[in-house]
Amino acid sequence: MRMRKLKLMVITAVLPVMLFAQNFTAVIEKNASAVNDSVIAWRRFIHQNPELGNREFKTGAFIAAHLRALGIEVKTNVGKTGVVGILKGGKPGPVVALRADMDALPVTERVKIPFASKVMGEYNGQTVGVMHACGHDSHVAILLGTATTLAKMQKDVPGTIVFIFQPAEEGPPGTEEGGAPLMIKEGVMNNPKVDAVFGLHINSQTEIGTIRYKSGSFMASSDWFTIKVKGKSSHGSMPWGGIDPIVVAAQIINGLQTIVSRQEELTKAPVVITVGIIKSGVRANIIPEELTMEGTIRTLDSKMQEDVHERIKTTATKIAEASGATAEVSIDTKTLVTYNDPELVKLMLPSLEKAAGTDHVIASDWTTGAEDFSFFGTKAPAFFFNLGGMPKGMDPKKAAPHHTPDFYIDDSMLDVGVKAFCNIVFDYAKLKK
């Protein structure tokens, strides 16, 4: 008899929580599906009107106007052109931040779609095409859809939601400050104090309706390096009369690859070192005096990141020294490792499964792509995941990569992202009681 009473008490205690979760999951499903046509329209409008980093003036104004129409408190010009919306729910709970990036890239679109970008802009002193070639337009639309859905449910929303619309994720122009670091510097994670932060990224090589995630290190840090090699000029017919910085640079480039293949423990985490720019010389028969090369470093372990920096400096300077030249190395950290808090991932997986279905939430490998969302993770537990944008049945190998003129996503299921964010808001509050 006592055992029956105990079981009844447990069922009585648990049932309201279960009903709470089930009821709001159904409401989220309904409201997010209802807003999907608007999410698609917003995404296509933003796609057709892209703006480069720290220049997202019209995009920011569009976002702010929509948030104000929802009755959400709005802060503008945060981190130059960023917008922050604050929704105070009708129920007590934590402060949860949701982030979307707004900037486009200096890429000329080649995709034949009715809303293709025809916008031109200026980048590094050059006139360039401007395109949302990384899907940030879809991120903005998804977060606007999330804000719309949660505003409609405001009396039931637990805690406070901070909607972060971030500029310059791809990096601010020139020597300007920007991106996540500047928004953090201006207090976006402290006013109000954020308890957990979440973000997503569309992926052109993952099928629509699918979510991919990884606990722990998920995306690589991104460092940009510059190596200046100084030799001695000579006539091209008499190389012995000078010190050829081009030959020295070639040896340095090969030496950098031995850091990857012979010096770092690749079973622990991958490392990538890429030289993308080489500048030297003005004439074919003149050995130049100087050469500058620039490149990127990608690591997925913070200690390896530091070690690679030191090895690059040693490799470049010693190879140059061996040839009688000199080498100066500078390294600029653009992003940190995007680290997904393991406990947060474990807690929130059911939220993603409600949004996409259990079979469509897949544990992924790490990626050597980078994200400045990583900086938000230094201020609060963070979880960043990928949302599929590839048309159903397409071969991922044939899908155009991000940052290319042919980048394309199927935007018909962006509501999966809206559902994921909304479920996260309710479930995180419930689990953190």
Q: How many residues does the chain have?
A: 433
- C-alpha 159/C-alpha 427 separation (Å) is 12
- 20: CB partners within 8 A, 6+ apart: 430
Q: Sorting pLDDT into bands at 50, 70 and 90, what band is 7?
A: very low
pTM: 0.91
Q: Residue 1, CB half-sphere, CA atoms under 13 Å: how many? A: 0
pLDDT tens digits along 334-357: 999 999 999 999 999 999 999 999
- C-alpha 237/C-alpha 241 separation (Å) is 9
Higher pLDDT, 175 or 83: 83
Closest CA to 271 of 247, 242, 304: 304
Tokens 């004439």 correspond to 283
pLDDT tens digits along 289-324: 999 999 999 999 999 999 999 999 999 999 999 999
Backbone φ, ψ for residue 287 (5° rounding): -75, 120
CA angle 263, 266, 268 (to 5 degrees): 120
- C-alpha 429/C-alpha 149 separation (Å) is 17
pLDDT tens digits along 244-254: 999 999 999 99
| pLDDT exceeds cutoff 60 at 6 | no
The secondary structure of 348-375 as a DSSP string is: HHHHHHHHH-GGGEEE---EEEE-GGGG
Asked whether 73 and 102 are in contact (CB, 8 A), the reply is: no
pLDDT tens digits along 62-119: 999 999 999 999 999 999 999 999 999 999 999 999 999 999 999 999 999 999 999 9
The overall longest dimension of the chain from CA atoms, in Å, is 103
Q: Sorting pLDDT into bands at 50, 70 and 90, what band is 403?
A: very high
Q: Sorting pLDDT into bands at 50, 70 and 90, what band is 8?
A: very low
**Cis amide prior to 192 (ω within 30 degrees):** yes
- C-alpha 143/C-alpha 32 separation (Å) is 11
- C-alpha 152/C-alpha 155 separation (Å) is 8
- C-alpha 305/C-alpha 337 separation (Å) is 9
- C-alpha 421/C-alpha 198 separation (Å) is 8
Mean pLDDT within 118-140: 97
Q: What is the pLDDT of residue 15?
A: 43
Asked whether 333 and 223 are in contact (CB, 8 A), the reply is: yes
The amino acid that residue 322 corresponds to is: A
Q: What is the pLDDT of residue 21?
A: 46
pLDDT tens digits along 176-195: 999 999 999 999 999 999 99
- C-alpha 277/C-alpha 295 separation (Å) is 7
Q: State the DSSP code for 135.
A: S
